[in-house]
Structure 1
């Protein structure tokens, strides 16, 4: 199977099977090839200047939200994280503060609120493993009391 060659109709090239993803519930190759899928994804997220991802496109494609809906959520939360009630402190590539993240249920896609990067990461980790929250609490409390866990 590794030496199998597969034709990609998008780029017109014949490539090794490893250059293609597999179809869900099958070993058949998913077309187009990985490189063409990546190029398409980058093109969808590219803006006019070609080097920045459009926030509106991410909102639409990932969360099915419009910029107006995002701004309404941000205004309702007074520009603060829904958990810690502080503004975002993480900085983007250009040094400007990042936008608050759209928190959503990864199973259902249901939008919850806007969170800062730190709270979003903690929420994601705890959502994946709810027992982690108790373990973190025990760990921190044990150090506050001067008795580190063994």
Structure 2
């Protein structure tokens, strides 16, 4: 093991120094390695333990939905966004596709449907002002005419 290599006690592998985070207020490597930390975080998230809350917990606390209700909504929509009809294309930190977002009325809390990340951002940006969409369309049309 060379000076640029560090042993991970968790996975038992010797890896390059860049595979480890620094300890707080130090340049010493934090153990376990980044990959083992990520694996542990994913396991805690899936189990609903630890610092991160599980998807089921977010559904329950934020939207008053069970995992089964979410899965039923997803099945009813055939896994596609209720607005654009596409599968989710946005990727999470691990590179896997994100889940469809639960769209809800921010004033009443009533759940509407599941949206892809892009459509969810648009509905959030427009808020409860649908007339803003007409303004956005006019803006894009005006600039498309100039470009064409």
TM-score (structure 2 length as normaliser):
0.63
CA drift at 1:130: 3.1
CA RMSD of aligned residues (A): 2.3
The aligned residue for residue 86 of structure 2 is 86
The aligned residue for residue 108 of structure 1 is 108
2:124 equivalent to 1:124: yes
C-alpha change, 1:64 and 1:79, in structure 2 (3 Å) is same
Between the aligned partners of 1:97 and 1:147, the Cα distance in structure 2 is: 34
The aligned residue for residue 95 of structure 1 is 95
C-alpha change, 1:147 and 1:67, in structure 2 (3 Å) is same
The answer to whether the 8 Å contact 2:48/2:54 transfers is no
C-alpha change, 1:75 and 1:138, in structure 2 (3 Å) is same
Between the aligned partners of 1:70 and 1:100, the Cα distance in structure 2 is: 10
2:54 equivalent to 1:72: no
Gaps of 5+ in 1: 1-44
Gaps of 5+ in 2: 1-44
CA drift at 1:132: 2.0
**Corresponding residue SS for 2:136:** helix
How many residues align structurally? 104
CA drift at 1:61: 0.2
The answer to whether the 8 Å contact 1:103/1:113 transfers is yes
